[in-house]
Amino acid sequence: MVVFPRLPVALLAVCALCLYAEASAGVSGAQERAAQEFLAAVASGSPLAVAQTLHPDDLHRLRTAIAARLRADAAVDDHTVRERLFGEASNPGDIERLTDVNFFAALGTRLRYPGRLFAKVHGLEAVRDGDKLVQVVVRGEQPEGRGKTRVVTLVTLLPWGKEWKAAIPGEIEAQVEDLLDGREASAGLVPVRFLPPPGAAPATNTPGIKSLLVDAAGALLEGRCDDYYGQYMSPTFRRETSAKALATLVRSCERSDSLRETLIAALHIVQDSAPAFDRGGNRATYDTTGRGLPFERFVLERQGDRWYIAE
């Protein structure tokens, strides 16, 4: 047996530092720009803005993996994951047609990745992580008037030609896994909705609202788009919309099964939701964020003794 001599502790420390030096380096200007671009998008709170700063290959990887899961579930008539990721009103065909960027933007309404706005970031260290990933540590300076504390944060980057783009953060990947597997996330993934004041009983749909929602959905199910826009939309909406525009809305409704299905889904979602009343109880607003609809709120208004769809 060959016995190697023990190395002094100091020499071991030097060796470790050498290995670290090989894996780490200073942060380039391109890396600083990519990090600041990503952090600014996160601070904006816009999933679309975040998606536009992410590396196209990473976006495509995520979309391909999730789309494969959705197709496999659809083959056995299981819609649980699709509804969990995109809302109960989401349409499989519409999801398939999304670009990589828009796919992430739609999914992003279910994610939470808090960020702070920086006026400038200074690179501290760039550490290689595998063949392509680089973990970049930056110190951010807040805008004037937002505090003087400089915040250190980490951004994962991928090479993009001569530049760099952010990779999908591990926290986001973990949240997506939580959604796919039905786990509760510690920060909560569901967007905040309208909440009643502390101690107040949650608002409920009145009999008049329930009647409107049922009747309007029935008209759409029977293809009576003229009645939907003529009887159930608010007189204010009809008065402020030109006759030509109304006719276009009716024709679009009659010709598009997808549009009618979306409107029906919205009415069904609102039936089971708690409204926020204002204007003396004459307007009811429902938060539909993250429910798979192409709009984030649904509004009803009362005129006289009747409720109508306001917008």
pLDDT tens-digit profile of 13-31?
444 434 444 445 689 999 9
Q: Hey, what amino acid is at 251?
A: R
Q: Is the pLDDT of residue 4 over 70?
A: no
Question: What's the pLDDT at 111?
Answer: 86
DSSP single-letter state for residue 110:
G
Least confident of 32-41, 192-201, 223-232, 244-253: 192-201
| Three-class SS of 47-71 | HHHHHHHECHHHHHHHHHHHHHHHH
87: which 2 tokens? 């809302």
Q: Which of 231, 230, 226, 271 is nearest to 253 (CA)?
A: 226
Q: Hey, what amino acid is at 126?
A: A
Domain spans of the chain? 7-184, 207-309
CA pair distance 77, 205, nearest whole angstrom: 32
Please, are residues 126 and 35 in contact by the beta-carbon 8 Å criterion? no
Please, are residues 106 and 98 in contact by the beta-carbon 8 Å criterion? yes
The DSSP result for 151-216, as a single string, is: EEEEEEEEEETTEEEEPPPHHHHHHHHHHHHTPPPTT--SPP---PPTTPPPP---HHHHHHHHHH
Please, are residues 209 and 283 in contact by the beta-carbon 8 Å criterion? no
Q: Is the pLDDT of residue 80 over 50?
A: yes
CA pair distance 162, 157, nearest whole angstrom: 13
CA pair distance 230, 256, nearest whole angstrom: 18
Strands (E), 75-150: 120-129, 133-141
Digit-coded pLDDT (tens) for 231-263:
999 999 999 899 999 999 999 999 998 889 889
Other Cβ atoms closer than 10 A to 248: 12
CA pair distance 162, 40, nearest whole angstrom: 21
pLDDT band at 194 (very low <50, low <70, confident <90, very high): very low
pLDDT band at 280 (very low <50, low <70, confident <90, very high): confident
Specify which residues 302 forms β-bridges with.
Answer: 307
Question: What's the pLDDT at 44?
Answer: 86
Q: Hey, what amino acid is at 100?
A: D
CA pair distance 126, 128, nearest whole angstrom: 7
Question: Which contiguous run of DSSP H or E holds residue 292?
Answer: none
| Residue 159, phi-psi category: left (phi > 0), alpha (psi -120 to 50), beta (remainder) | beta
Contacting residues for 259 by C-beta, under 8 A, at least 6 apart: 252, 253
